[in-house]
Amino acid sequence: MSAIFREAAPAKINLYLHVLGVRPDGYHDLDSLVAFARVCDTVAVTVAEQPALTIDGPFGAPLAAEPPTGNLVWRALHALAEAVGRAPAVAIRLTKELPLASGIGGGSSDAAACLRALTRLWRLDPHDRRLRDVAAGLGADVPVCLAGVSAYFGGIGDQVEAAPALPSCPVVVVNPGVPLSTPAVFKARRGPFSAAARLIEIPYDVVALATLLEQRRNDLADAARGLDPAIDPVLDSLDAAPGCLLARLSGSGATCFGLFRDADDAGRAAARIHAEHPAWWVRATRLG
């Protein structure tokens, strides 16, 4: 039996996201601090006679109904195979635990996890430049997801730089169940552009991190809230939870996150929010 290589595809959280300007090609220059939560999709790969993609999990059905050629993990397989001169004779199983089109980089993280799994399957050098080149060609969030650790990203996501070590923070992530189109959110954004705001101080605990983040923002939040009114009650629910230090939209939404003083507060908040809004996707977890 062929070995199976599994990789987690964790949720990407934009702790802050500043839009710096628009480029001649219509894309936006960004500055963001990204962390990863301990909730994830899973990608498993194994040798097969022909390339194949199986999708399951609570959020898998819509993707399973679509042609595999449009899925980022399928594109990751074929792009890396071409780059390293191998046949894409691999079976992939994608288990979707994260909501779709939710601002936490699900598809990008899936593609990055697929690249990491293929690196192990094909015994490639994980520092091979071709991996980073393939990741950049798949989408703006894939390079930072490939790194899989807290990082800054700039440009359109292609400029990934190391961030200072962040404290492991209790966090509650909530999605109201309404997918949001990232291009639509960027198109709806109004107002002036922001400056880059990378951290000068290194936060030593979650309180210090929340204090620093309060001086920054998500420049897509107003546009996302205008497109999806369900975001406001999510933020209100997090804000009202005892022990919540900061509630904010992640990426282009509609997922929001709350940083909490301790794991017990986060757990109680998640349980209460789920009880009050059973249709929402709610998880208490940690960053890092």
Catalytic residue among 12, 31, 110, 219: 12
Mean pLDDT in residue range 90-105: 96
Best CA proximity match to 19, nearest among 213, 132, 156, 211: 156
Mean pLDDT of the chain: 96
* DSSP classification of residue 130: H
Mean pLDDT in residue range 171-193: 95
Mean pLDDT in residue range 185-194: 95
Catalytic residue among 110, 141, 219, 228: 141
Residues of the chain with CATH 3.30.70.890: 169-287
Band of the pLDDT at 164, cuts 50, 70, 90?
confident
Q: What is the Cα–Cα distance from 197 to 213, expressed in whole angstroms? A: 10
Residues of the chain with CATH 3.30.230.10: 5-162
Q: What is the Cα–Cα distance from 267 to 274, expressed in whole angstroms? A: 11
The 10s digit of each residue's pLDDT in 11-49 is 999 999 999 999 998 889 999 999 999 999 999 999 999
Quickly name the fold that domain 169-287 has.
Answer: Alpha-Beta Plaits (3.30.70)
- Please provide the DSSP assignment of 65-79 as one string: TS-GGGSHHHHHHHH
The 10s digit of each residue's pLDDT in 128-145 is 999 999 999 999 889 999
Q: What is the Cα–Cα distance from 109 to 17, expressed in whole angstroms? A: 18
Candidate from 11-15, 38-42, 156-160, 264-268 with smallest mean pLDDT: 156-160
**12 is annotated as an active-site residue:** yes
Q: Specify the pLDDT at position 1.
A: 63
One-letter amino acid identity for 281? W
The pTM is what? 0.94
CATH architecture of the domain with range 5-162: 2-Layer Sandwich (3.30)
Q: Specify the pLDDT at position 158.
A: 80
Phi, psi (rounded to 5 degrees) for 206: -65, -30
Question: What proportion of the chain, given as a percentage, has pLDDT over 90?
Answer: 93
**187 is annotated as an active-site residue:** no
At residue 256, does pLDDT exceed 80?
A: yes
The 10s digit of each residue's pLDDT in 227-245 is 999 999 999 999 999 999 9
